[in-house]
Amino acid sequence: GEDAKGFKPTRIHTIKNINQANSTIALKEYQQEPSKAEDLAKIPLLRKSDIPKSLKKPSFIKWNVDSDTAYWNKLFSGGIVYTNILFDLSGLSDRHLQYIPLLSAVFEEVGLPGMPYYEVASRMDILAGIWFMTTFHSTTEDAKTIKRFMVCFASLEDKTRCAAEFFSKILKEGLVGDIERLKTIITSFRNDFKEMVLDYGNKLARTSAASGFTEGGRLDALWNGLPQLMFIQSIDVNDKKQMRQVADELLALQNYILGQTKIIDVIADSKWNAKSYVDYIETLFPKASKKISSHRDSFVEGLSAECFSTAAMVNYNSLVFKVPDSKTDMVAESALANILSTGYLWEKVRMEGGAYGAGASVMVPEKLFSFTSYRDPSVERTYQTYKKALEEIAENGISEDVLEKTVITMAGESIKPLSPGHLG
């Protein structure tokens, strides 16, 4: 109406901003207000008495086949056989190891003589419901680092031998040196890895932070962290000379890997003849004295504070440090990580700090404790919160009620149902 003719639009914006400010203040006050004890008491809870006292472990047998090791996990698998073949990479230097993730990606999309890559993929989908190639590493209790190239597939019992034979054909005859095909795979692999920075930036940050403590941590970064991204970005697919060098490296690794010792892991029903199947796999991968002029890199601990810039408007923060070298302490550290993740960090970093996620975790083999935040608008404030979280626990301790809930949560993770493939 006429009364509104002289009303300035800027006043509307001013009123809106005041309302927003009041809402923000009210939200922060609500977030900082502790929940009432009577409200918390209404939530139904399990007790430690409800937790099973022991875990049923799957039975398996182990035997040696020449210099290889075989495992047969006897599980009801509904007529499906899960096969994992792990080739040893312990003789390779870091320079060669950095190519293994790319080689894994190439094997998954490679062609064969007389058979283009899409026909290879279609054939594998017919023979196996699940199949992939990947890297595998772990740290043993005596601090040795295991490095493997891993082939995994699951197939029906009557197709298992055919699947194993076709997989061996891919590994032995796959055209990993096809430069035109290699260009497409490298470009796709690079783009997928770049997307990981935004989708899994907290994991990349933790990997980088942990890489200076152990050889296993360094290898994890080399394969799954920012060093791998930098390596794959350094390859110019339009540089013919560089692409020839990459193809030659992959061909050399293809020949080298197949000649190394293996671990063969089979998950199948106890009535199925796994030993005969393992013997058949051995005939598909005869050992040969393939060598690469290489040397093992010795690990030297190097700790530092690092910052990597991205195109994101948010941050991924991680802080990693050593914990006492004791199995009992590792259990306690795992409980502490759970308590901090569901309590202090959730409230201070996520709810008050505005991050999409925050948590603590324990890297058990490496004996490391980590803090991470996900899509976090803050940097310095978050690192201060990590420190304050530990100070809060050190000063006030942990109540019996909170500890009991934590034990129940951790036990639930251990007893949740798993598929035969994961359980084996």
pLDDT tens-place string over residues 317-330: 999 998 877 767 78
d(CA 411, CA 331): 12
Q: What is the DSSP letter of 48?
A: G
Provide CB contacts within 8 A for 287, sequence distance 6+. 66, 67, 259, 260, 261
Q: What is the pLDDT of residue 230?
A: 93
Q: Is the pLDDT of residue 229 over 90?
A: yes
- Cα 284 to Cα 62, 85, 120, 129: the distances in Å are 20, 12, 18, 21
Higher pLDDT, 378 or 52: 378
- Closest alpha carbon to 73 in 85, 86, 61, 57: 61
d(CA 146, CA 96): 16
The two tokens of residue 411 are 């036990």
CB atoms under 10 Å from CB of 55, counted, come to: 8
pLDDT band, very low/low/confident/very high, at 377 (cuts 50, 70, 90): very high
Provide CB contacts within 8 A for 132, sequence distance 6+. 108, 152, 153
Residues 353, 377 contacting (CB under 8 angstroms): yes
Alpha-carbon dihedral angle through residues 21, 22, 24, 27, given to the nearest 10 degrees: 180
Higher pLDDT, 288 or 200: 200
- Cα 191 to Cα 150, 184, 198, 233, 421: the distances in Å are 23, 11, 12, 9, 30
The two tokens of residue 151 are 């082939």
* pLDDT single digits (tens) 212-222: 888 889 999 99
Identify the burial level of 233 via C-beta atoms within 10 angstroms of its C-beta, where 0-12 means exposed, 13-18 middle and 19 or more buried. Answer: exposed
What does the mean pLDDT of the chain come to? 87
* pLDDT single digits (tens) 247-282: 999 999 999 998 899 999 999 988 889 999 999 999
- Closest alpha carbon to 87 in 149, 34, 28, 1: 149
Higher pLDDT, 163 or 41: 163
* pLDDT single digits (tens) 338-364: 999 999 999 999 999 999 999 999 988
Q: What is the pLDDT of residue 290?
A: 61
Instruction: Say which amino acid occupies 148.
Output: R
d(CA 306, CA 296): 26
Q: What is the pLDDT of residue 4?
A: 47
Q: Is the pLDDT of residue 400 over 80?
A: yes
- Return the residue matching tokens 């980590």: 370
Q: What is the pLDDT of residue 9?
A: 44
Query: Average pLDDT for residues 3-29, to the nearest whole number?
Result: 58
The two tokens of residue 220 are 């994890």
Q: Is the pLDDT of residue 11 over 60?
A: no
- Taking CB atoms within 8 Å and a gap of at least 24, the contacts of 27-32 are 28/352, 31/347, 31/351, 31/352, 32/352
Residues 209, 121 contacting (CB under 8 angstroms): no
Backbone torsion region of residue 168, taken as left when φ is above 0, otherwise alpha when ψ lies between -120 and 50, otherwise beta: alpha
- Read off the pTM: 0.84
- Cα 344 to Cα 181, 335, 413: the distances in Å are 50, 14, 21
- What DSSP string describes 190-220? HHHHHHHHHHSHHHHHHHHHHTTT-HHHHHH
- Closest alpha carbon to 235 in 354, 98, 353, 109: 98
List residues bridging with 130 in a β-sheet.
154
In this structure, of 40-54, 95-109, 154-168, 240-254, the range with the lowest mean pLDDT score is 40-54
Q: What is the pLDDT of residue 288?
A: 65
Provide CB contacts within 8 A for 329, sequence distance 6+. 323
Residues 292, 96 contacting (CB under 8 angstroms): yes
Q: What is the DSSP letter of 58?
A: P
Q: What is the pLDDT of residue 19?
A: 63
- Closest alpha carbon to 97 in 249, 229, 236: 249
